[in-house]
């Protein structure tokens, strides 16, 4: 939004303080003016940072090397010889089906199966129907790579404790009546934000990773019912940090309230009733929370007790950057449900990114990288970067192996 990437640390730091510090106001004004100019001149923001910059550099290298890039051209089928070796693919292009033969090999990198509803239901251990699990991954990641591999004898890894990288996700109403998934990365760690189930009870250290949060949410919700939770904050907190898709002051809350994304109550009990939470449970939880905040320690779940937690808090809040009272009404809630930002269970490969068949032998000419390749962490989430890091590393290894360099 406004040309910002989700994890833009320095930019967000200034945006949070734009109405409080002259330096931050000037930074934000300059940043927005530059973005507005870019959009007017080029139709989009031109400042690329983080992953955007990385992808742009790789694309530039491909262009400079005269490597053709076909857009809107999904691979439909792999071509294999009788001995099983992969020698090319059938590709659906805007000009019709094209047969592409390779000299070195095919690398499957179709992004995993976040939007393959049938496979999700089969592999995820929680209910992953389209109405109960919402992925923020690219909508084109429909499991093609895994199906293409399986059709020539490959196997998907089984038994992963988590088949994807989970993220608590809220659903933002769009003008056309659909809802867009918004993964909650940074708001949960902020002081004055807690998460509760419909019982009004907290269930997790909100500042832990999004992956841990969702596992806690699924455990805390009654079996057989949809997993869901509610992020709760008071007026001071939401105006300072925003909440999910809701932006901090001076941007207005009105449209989020009108769309039903953000739910409000003049008192904690009223908020609970409006959201559908047990009022007595929520009141008791917030009373305990406020008592803990006064002591600077979350005795229930240890929010703010790790460096990871504190990084997502507010360094200017002392003594615990993740704790602030919830006592400044009105009060607000946003519903979150399970979602993912990518899948971990992918095709089994060896150390050279070669795809393995059911007997564990490499299928000649076939490689996998990114989320089409089974995660090297076996379905565990050690921290941010655990998909992109191995994705880049094993993509690089696949290319060098196929080219016969340093095998
Ligand atoms: C909001 C968000 C934040 C994230 N933050 C991080 C982070 O901080 N660190 C991190 O490590 N990871 C992060 N991830 C996860 C990471 O972005 C993905 O795991 C990674 O991009 C997957 O790379 P990939 O190459 O496998 O697939 P993608 O980058 O998703 O690319 C796959 C592409 O293949 C296309 N495709 C699908 N089928 C076909 C077909 N048949 N033929 C041709 N093309 C096809 C798809 O349309 C898609 O464009 C984040 C994800 C999201 C959604």
Residue 146 lies in a domain: yes
- Stretch 210-217: mean pLDDT, rounded? 97
Residue 133 belongs to a domain: yes
Rg of the chain, C-alpha, whole Å: 24
Q: What is the pLDDT of residues 219-248, one digit of tens each?
A: 999 888 889 999 999 999 999 999 999 999
Q: Do 242 and 254 fall into the same domain?
A: yes
Is 155 inside any structural domain?
yes
State which of 340, 370, 388 marks the end of a domain: 340
Q: For residue 126, give the nearest of 340, 277, 374 by alpha carbon.
A: 340
Residue 55 and residue 13 share a domain: yes
Q: Please give the model's pTM, rounded to 2 decimal places.
A: 0.92
Same domain, residue pair 174 and 320? yes
Q: What is the pLDDT of residues 72-108, one digit of tens each?
A: 999 999 999 999 999 999 999 999 999 999 999 999 9
Q: Where are the beta strands (DSSP E) in 52-178?
A: 75-80, 86-93, 96-101, 106-108, 134-135, 164-173
Residue 260's pLDDT is 97
212 and 325 fall within a common domain: yes
Spacing, Cα 361 to ligand 1 middle (Å): 27
Which residue has the least CA distance to atom 40 on ligand 1?
A: 74
Could you tell me if 37 and 52 lie in one domain? yes
For 336, the enclosing helix (H) or strand (E) is: strand 331-343
The answer to whether position 271 is within a domain reads: yes
Is residue 89 in contact with ligand 1, taking CB distance under 6 Å? no
CA-nearest residue for atom 3, ligand 1, is 341
286 CA to centre of ligand 1 in angstroms: 39
Report the distance separating Cα 392 and Cα 369, nearest Å: 8
User: What is residue 91's predicted lDDT score, i.e. its pLDDT?
Assistant: 98
For residues 143 and 169, membership in a common domain is answered with: no
Q: What is the pLDDT of residue 232?
A: 98
| Cα 138 to ligand 1 centroid, rounded to whole Å | 6
Domain region containing 22? 1-69
pLDDT of residue 47: 85
Which atom of ligand 1 approaches the CA of 140 most closely? 47
Same domain, 201 and 278: yes
- 169 and 295 share a domain? yes
Structural domain tally of the chain? 3
CATH code (residue 234)? 3.90.700.10
Ligand 1 centroid to residue 145 C-alpha, Å: 12
DSSP letters, 280-308, are: HHHHHHHHHHHHHHHHT--TTT-TT-SHH
195 within domain boundaries: yes
Q: What average pLDDT score do residues 179-192 get? A: 96
Which among 303, 318, 340 is the end of a domain? 340
Question: What is the Å distance from ligand 1's center to 25 Cα?
Answer: 34
Bridge partners of 336, per DSSP, are 229
What is the average pLDDT score of the chain?
94
Say yes or no: 257 and 393 in one domain.
no
Residues of the chain with pLDDT > 90: what percent? 85
Pocket test for ligand 1, best of 53, 97, 111, 139 (most atoms within 8 A of CB): 111
Residues 179 and 230 placed together within one structural domain of the fold: yes
Choosing from 289, 306, 340, the residue where a domain stops is 340
Protein residue closest via CA to atom 20 of ligand 1: 388
Q: What is the pLDDT of residue 141?
A: 98
Residue 95, domain member (yes or no): no
CA of residue 167 to ligand 1 center, whole Å: 15
Residue 43 lies in a domain: yes
pLDDT in tens, 301-340: 999 999 999 999 999 999 999 999 999 999 999 999 999 9
Whether 36 maps to a domain, the answer reads: yes
CA–centroid distance, residue 58 to ligand 1 (Å)? 15
Same domain, 113 and 171: no
Q: What is the pLDDT of residues 2-48, one digit of tens each?
A: 666 656 667 777 887 888 889 988 988 898 899 999 999 999 888 88
Domain CATH number, residue 389: 3.50.50.60
343 CB less than 6 Å from ligand 1?
A: no
């Amino acid at each position: 939004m406004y040309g910002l990437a989700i994890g833009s640390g320095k930019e967000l730091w200034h945006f949070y303080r734009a109405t409080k510090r002259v330096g931050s106001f000037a930074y934000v004004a300059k940043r927005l003016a530059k973005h507005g100019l870019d959009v007017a001149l080029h139709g989009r923001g031109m400042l690329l940072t983080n992953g955007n910059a990385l992808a742009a550099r790789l694309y530039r290298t491909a262009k400079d090397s005269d490597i053709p890039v076909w857009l809107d051209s999904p691979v439909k089928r792999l071509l294999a010889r009788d001995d099983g070796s992969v020698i090319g693919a059938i590709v659906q292009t805007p000009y019709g089906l094209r047969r592409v033969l390779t000299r070195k090999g095919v690398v499957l990198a179709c992004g995993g199966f976040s939007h393959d509803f049938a496979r999700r239901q089969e592999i995820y251990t929680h209910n992953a129907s389209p109405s109960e699990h919402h992925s923020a991954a690219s909508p084109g990641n429909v499991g093609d790579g895994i199906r293409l591999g399986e059709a020539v004898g490959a196997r998907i890894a089984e038994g992963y404790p988590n088949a994807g990288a989970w993220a608590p996700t809220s659903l933002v109403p769009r003008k056309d009546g659909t809802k867009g998934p918004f993964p909650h990365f940074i708001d949960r760690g902020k002081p004055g934000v807690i998460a509760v189930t419909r019982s009004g009870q907290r269930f997790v250290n909100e500042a832990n990773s999004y992956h841990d949060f969702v596992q806690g949410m699924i455990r805390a919700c009654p079996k057989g019912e949809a997993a869901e939770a509610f992020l709760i904050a008071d007026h001071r907190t939401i105006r300072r940090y925003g909440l999910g898709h809701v932006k901090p002051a001076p941007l207005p809350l009105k449209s989020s309230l009108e769309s039903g994304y953000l739910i409000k109550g003049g008192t904690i009990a009223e908020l609970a009733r409006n959201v559908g939470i047990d009022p007595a449970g929520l009141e008791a939880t917030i009373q305990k929370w406020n008592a803990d905040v006064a002591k600077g320690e979350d005795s229930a779940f240890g929010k703010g007790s790790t460096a990871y937690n504190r990084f997502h808090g507010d360094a200017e809040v002392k003594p615990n950057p993740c704790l602030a009272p919830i006592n400044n009404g009105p009060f607000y809630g946003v519903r979150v449900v399970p979602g993912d930002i990518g899948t971990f269970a992918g095709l089994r490969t060896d150390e050279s990114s070669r795809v393995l068949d059911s007997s564990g032998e490499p299928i000649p000419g076939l490689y996998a990288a990114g989320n089409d390749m089974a995660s090297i962490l076996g379905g565990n989430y050690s921290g941010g970067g655990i998909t992109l890091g191995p994705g880049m590393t094993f993509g690089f290894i696949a290319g060098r192996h196929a080219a016969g360099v340093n095998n």
